[in-house]
Amino acid sequence: MNRLKEKYNKEIKEVLIKELGVKNTMSLPKLVKVVVNMGIGEAAKSKQAMEALQKDMAAVTGQFPSTRNAKVSIASFSLRAGMPVGLSVTLRGEKMYSFLDRLFSIVLPRLRDFRGVSDKSFDKQGNYTLGLVEHTVFPEIDSTKSAAPHGMEITIVTTGGTMLKSKKLLELLGMPFTKELKIEN
């Protein structure tokens, strides 16, 4: 069993029951899936660059990405319907917990000038979206052999239902949120 999943089952469930006042353990917030998206931009025109991005994303997530195609043509972007515009991976189960463990403990602390992630990226259902400027911050990527740096969007889907429950779950799992400064007069 993954380290993060084991921590959730042994420690976090008990803390959530106490803090949220939940009587039924089935109604506790938990992780459903993690969706990782990457726009490919100019790499769509080069087959080698596209394959390099697919290899990088497969190395990071442990799963081969699916290609997302444009639905409509946009002449000002030289985009035709059916052209590849992005890569996407949906992680569940053990791969999800493994990816989040690496993200929280290795990748986020490696970011330059990192002071924590914002707590303003929750949606109404309690899902959290995090954007990374470069995909090369993952230790699996060899920056000398990889494709040009591309942005990456990571969405963590929970059953929290509200921002407060989901934030508490992610804090307990180890997500480093920014600390609010309290200035006293």
Query: Is 70 part of any domain?
Result: yes
Return the CATH number at 9.
Answer: 3.30.1440.10
86 closest CA partner among 130, 150, 41, 55: 41
User: In this structure, which amino acid lies at residue 37?
Assistant: N
Query: Is 185 part of any domain?
Result: no
- The tens digit of pLDDT for each residue in 141-173 reads 777 777 677 788 999 999 888 888 888 888 888
Structural domain count of the chain: 1
Question: For a pLDDT cut of 90, what percent of the chain falls above it?
Answer: 11
Q: What is the pLDDT of residue 160?
A: 80
* Domain span holding position 37: 3-154+168-173
Query: Is 180 part of any domain?
Result: no
DSSP helix/strand/coil, 19: helix
- The tens digit of pLDDT for each residue in 45-103 reads 778 888 888 888 888 888 999 888 877 777 777 777 877 778 999 999 888 998 888 88
Q: What is the pLDDT of residue 89?
A: 93
Query: Is 130 part of any domain?
Result: yes
- pTM of the predicted model, to two decimals? 0.84
Residues found in the chain: 185
Query: Is 54 part of any domain?
Result: yes
Q: What is the pLDDT of residue 181?
A: 56
Q: Name the band, by pLDDT with cuts 50, 70 and 90, for residue 34.
A: very high
